[in-house]
Amino acid sequence: MLLGIDLGTSSVKVAVMAEDGSVKQVATAAYAMSSPRPGWAETDPEAWWLATRKAMAGLAAEHLRAIDAIGLAGQMHGVVLTAENGKAVRPAILWADGRSTEEAARYRRLDAGLLLRLANPPATGMAGPTLLWLKTHESILLERARWALQPKDWLRLQLTGEARGEPTDASATLLYDFVDDGWAKQVLEELDIRVDLLPELVASQEVAGRLTSEAARELGIKAGIPVAAGAADTAATLVGHGVLAPGPVVLTIGTGAQMTTVRKEFKADPAQRTYVFRTVEKGKWYSMAAILNAGLALDWVGRLFGVDSEELHGSAARIPAGSGGVSFFPYLVAERTTHVDAGAAWSGVGLQHGKEHLLKASLEGVAFALREAMEALEATRISPADLQLAGGGTVNKHWRQMLADVLGRRLLAIDSPASSARGAALLAGVAAGKFKTLDESSALMMRTDLVAVPGADADEYSRLYERWKVKDP
């Protein structure tokens, strides 16, 4: 058996996969993201480790005994300042954090040639600007740190006792040279960021360490088994879907949402509305259009009205398209390339409206934001007929139908409850020698089903989307 661990923003998911590619069991455990000041987003990394142990305790004993290798996937862009002993010296600063606006502006003043090698527009929440903020505002803590790790790399350190990184997460830090395919030493020198903070990079499908006796005891599995380097969650999802070559586009909805597709070059988006990052294979990249306010906004709406996910999504079936004229703009945190000023809002609300109108409008607002992201991807000459769904935020049938109508695309779902964790497990299989190559692992694709097609509301949603764009504050 192979274990995939997916460290998300609000929960960790562990999946046990057999060598035929079938996922035998999935368990999850949640933790909180805090915002100690407006625009900040943090989590205590110890909560990740405690949740991982809790999720592992939810797996069947026979599965735990059979685990032979581990792979990791995780949320991108964040910074975990880590001491020599592996402990975090402060809470992790996450991808949704918006404190580093001045530091992102400092990036934009870099030489044009250096910016070209970074291939992506500078934005808050990414590791480079975050490290600059720490250098200015928490220099003592930065000096105490031995490493600045990505979230899943910190978790792997707890498993193996060894600090390593890998290219998919590294490429999303604004500290990665896309020409040299490694850490951007010139940028680090220009910004006066210590290069020794950054860990050695190993390939995603290579062994990055072995499970220590202490970690094995806490997780209830064998010590000494190989732990693969793993991948950023979006890159791991591509592996979990068997998407190793250009063509398919994967739509993932979790706390944030991403549309991703593989490409053979790292050509930057001249409009700076999409991103390009490294896949798990050298010489391959993927384009990504993303929004930060997806599940983040819907979870907030649910808490605000005291409703669960089922009731929230049920409003999609009970209220007609357009929510009786109510519009929702989901920008609780600032987006990176558009909507850079945070501020969520409903508009058009009157005495005739009830709770369900506002709930339905919330779903429509997130769907419209996704359509805006899809249009950014289409501007780079990527226009899919279908979208492959991934992530816990894509499972409700009413939500799927609304997405098909708003996006105007057929939606396909892979028969796997944990695409990113499955991708991590497949990487573990290659690292442990269970599969000879990634191509061999991609042949273990789960069944893909057509789950939604644009329906009767599709034309109406096209009209409503144009109105929403005009009203967007």
Residues marked as catalytic: 233
Contact 22, 446 (CB under 8 A): yes
Q: What count of Cα atoms within 13 Å lies in the side-chain half-sphere of residue 225? A: 25
Q: Token digits for 247?
A: 């063509």
| 184 contacts: CB under 8 Å, gap ≥ 6 | 114, 117, 118, 175, 176, 177
| 95 contacts: CB under 8 Å, gap ≥ 6 | 9, 41, 75, 76, 77, 78, 125, 126, 256, 292
For residues 260 and 121, give the distance between their C-alpha atoms in angstroms, rounded to a whole number. 17
Greatest pairwise CA separation for the chain in angstroms: 64
Contact 387, 377 (CB under 8 A): no
Strand partners, 30: 11
Identify how many contiguous H helices and E strands the chain contains and give both numbers: 18, 22
Strand partners, 374: none
For residues 331 and 333, give the distance between their C-alpha atoms in angstroms, rounded to a whole number. 5
With H, G, I as helix, E, B as strand and everything else as coil, classify residue 356: helix
N- to C-terminal Cα separation, the chain? 50
Q: Which amino acid is at 461?
A: Y
Question: Is 352 exposed, middle or buried (CB count within 10 Å of its CB: 0-12, 13-18, 19+)?
Answer: exposed
Contact 48, 12 (CB under 8 A): yes
